[in-house]
Amino acid sequence: MIGFQSVLKLVVKCIVGALVATLVSASANAIDWQDSPAIAALFAKADLQGTFVIYDVSANTYTGFNRSRAETRFIPASTFKLPNSLIGLATGAVNSVDEIFPWDGKPRWMKSWEKDMDLREAIKLSAVPVYQEVARRVGLQRMQQNVSKIGYGNSEIGTVIDDFWLDGSLRISAVEQTGFLSKLAQGTLPFPNAVQASVRDIARLEQGSDWTLYGKTGWSTREQPIGWWVGWVEKNGRYYAFALNIDMPEQADAAKRIEIGKASLLALGVLN
């Protein structure tokens, strides 16, 4: 009898697991996606392997290139500096985006990181040591709680606090990036409004006559080398969250991320 009950429990567990997997898959496939021939042509001309997706928040539609890859999770690399900033500020681990993080005098991977800086400058320079210090201040437990709270990708940060977004188990897809970014753009994440406004401020890149561009790059050399550019455009009261990733084995290819990303935004009429 005990053996039968054990088998029954296992069967039920398998059925439930299968149902959950089916529901998750159905949810992922339920998005309103439209392929863009113009963006496909841009990637072909640049001879790049990758994806681009833009989420029109008002219309609740997705437009892009290579949907399969857009729904594939990759390590977030330095794009995680956006949620890291939010969590650092929301938990009080960082007083403000103007708090100075002193350089310890040790050599850095990039010479531009060898100085004292605040988050405003650290996010522009993508200064890894500063954001590792932010994560250490937050601590593993609070970081896991907050990453789970915002539903960031697979929400798995593992047990090493200061490099899980670079060399850990955390993964996120381009489509999931746009979901997170659209909430940050609108200020609807579960963080204080002032915190979200501060992070939007340091993520701002450019402004035009009727639009403002926000974004963050990333580069991971682990497993499959991948370059990211993610962000959003606020235009005439509407929000367009976007995410691009490309195969990027060499740092020399870094400029291609923003080049093809901007070209895609221009092709869709989001920038002008």
Q: Is 198 a catalytic residue?
A: no
Among 253, 255, 272, 257, which residue's Cα sits nearest to residue 52?
257
- Which one is catalytic: 6, 36, 68, 78? 78
3-state secondary structure 45-107: HHCCCEEEEEEECCCCEEEEECHHHHCCEECCHHHHHHHHHHHHHHCCCCCCCCCCECCCCCC
Model pLDDT for residues 52-104, shown as the tens digit of each residue: 999 999 999 999 999 999 999 999 999 999 999 999 999 999 999 999 999 99
User: Side chain identity at 42, as an amino acid letter?
Assistant: L
Proportion of the chain above pLDDT 90, given as a percent: 87
Q: At what angle do helices 81-90 and 174-186 cross, to 10 degrees?
A: 40
Model pLDDT for residues 170-188, shown as the tens digit of each residue: 999 999 999 999 999 999 9
| Nearest 10 degrees: Cα torsion 154, 159, 163, 166 | -30
